[in-house]
Structure 1
């Protein structure tokens, strides 16, 4: 133990460490896969994983579909809406690039909107304001940094406007729920996410037929329904190969076995770091605030806003010198991406997103982060901001 503490005191502190299942935990699932000789094409492990997700979200099987990754899940969910080519999809400017690129690759036009100053989310009110100023045919809000949306509020928005909403909940597994509301959610099972499968994702949707359409499109668009209007094997739509493999389902099922315990530990770790950093820099740090569902914490990232760009840069340099990883999440913001403008994106004014890009910084946070590593991060933050 003393040797491990000594190493923690000098070794680099990484920004993220994936919480992947151990080989021993994974082995029984791989043995089941090999015994079945079924490795892809909606195999028994994929079906078992989908059943587990359906229980968690309290939806029937036809309202959930796994995919090979969340980005393709977003693209196929948009395609399943059958919007006309060139339709305008409202997305936040402060998000990961995949949100906007999924819109472009689906043959649609991103409309880049601002986010709320407290939650850092594209809210129904921001969407209403955007609709009053420009064309909007659908909305794709993001569970930014894992912060969940109030799905009842988005259901009301859909009913009020008639516009479909797809929530990019890539980073929000374990936090984003329907809670009795209708809606569409797309989750990621990437290796850095709360439930890691290496790669993978799934779509949950109460919109009639959407998840079933996503499943069909993920298998090239082939009709596999013997009672359908088309012959078996005929194309019902132009899809792609976005099926989850049995290998990735095995990893996800193994990760599920330890998920509850690890989630509790991540919550406790986040609470300790949050308190320690605020004590180390009293009144100087600003944090993402949740809405009605924001209290359900299963964090995978630790992000904060510094007082200004200069002090962020000073802290970045101090962390680099101390071997501590940092990242400026979601920067540059989508409004500043020239390639999106070339693709025809409509950029609305986004002062909050621009402000976030000037002073937000991510610090190390991962399951298994030691007390020594935490203390090093807090000390560097305290020393940097004191100067």
Structure 2
């Protein structure tokens, strides 16, 4: 048993934040077994050894609902929009990942960067090469991280170096599922790149594979950029909408996560809500590529599930604090005003609920896996000055979101053990 003394930050069942200024969190065999005010918790566990982090705050580890691990090496690559960016930067980079050694080195660096930024769980993408997914799964297992990974599927309208075929790509995905899904804390995702790069046969095969494996995740992109729509109509002329390509194949369900969904209508929003699928909202990426602004109000009115995501490498930072601030700015441009607490929830407990990990990670709660971060509100002089002036938890959360960065993440704990140490 290990006990951590610090301020504690979490969320109740309605997504409202709570804070215990002087708390104790107890961990045994990788799970949270008790927490509460220091005096009360120590009375329940007399003599327990205590890790003293007074002045700091323990918070749930962040969940990144959509990230391309290979693209860490092209973050910040300029292009006039999504499709030119894919052709000029993404596909040439991903073509190199038929090399298992390169995949292993990149996975190692990527996971270190995730943890350094306080991300303890992610839904991550490989290339079309199954060895790229293998490398990330193996490295995640070595770090004992909860990670969901997919081998990309795309069999049409892309360079040959990053193209699979419908049958072979699905067979590779099935082999990954058989080998890795449910091993330790790992999960696999059926991962069509996006409708413009997947033939009807590949999309239909992905749906058949999803029906055969109901506990496996599905991840893809949908309605990110208007430039995609003509390509979608050409390949899938019978589909009512971009999202309907996936829906018709049976790929909208719980544990389906679609990135972006900017250019969708109310019918699509209702289908997302009714199906139990979720949207990975990627504000930094959408701003960087000029793809558009996610409609937070319409998503809320439809009852859609959504989680925040970095979408690196189009996203410009792995830091969830940066992503939350970008989401706030996008919402303001659309006339909405989310609270900081709502945005934190959609990157932690709300993200877990959206993507099918509720009851495992995303919160400080008895019975959950002990993935948490140690936040330092004095990480920079300005952050220290501003958080000291906060007169409510909401204002403190907002200041951390607006002024914090990776320096605010002092430590990261995975399954109760330190993954990134104190600076």
Above 0.5 in TM-score?
A: no
Which protein is richer in strand relative to its size? 2
TM-score, normalising length from structure 2?
Answer: 0.21
TM-score, normalising length from structure 1?
Answer: 0.23
Structure with more contact order per residue of length (Cα contacts < 8 Å, sep ≥ 6): 1
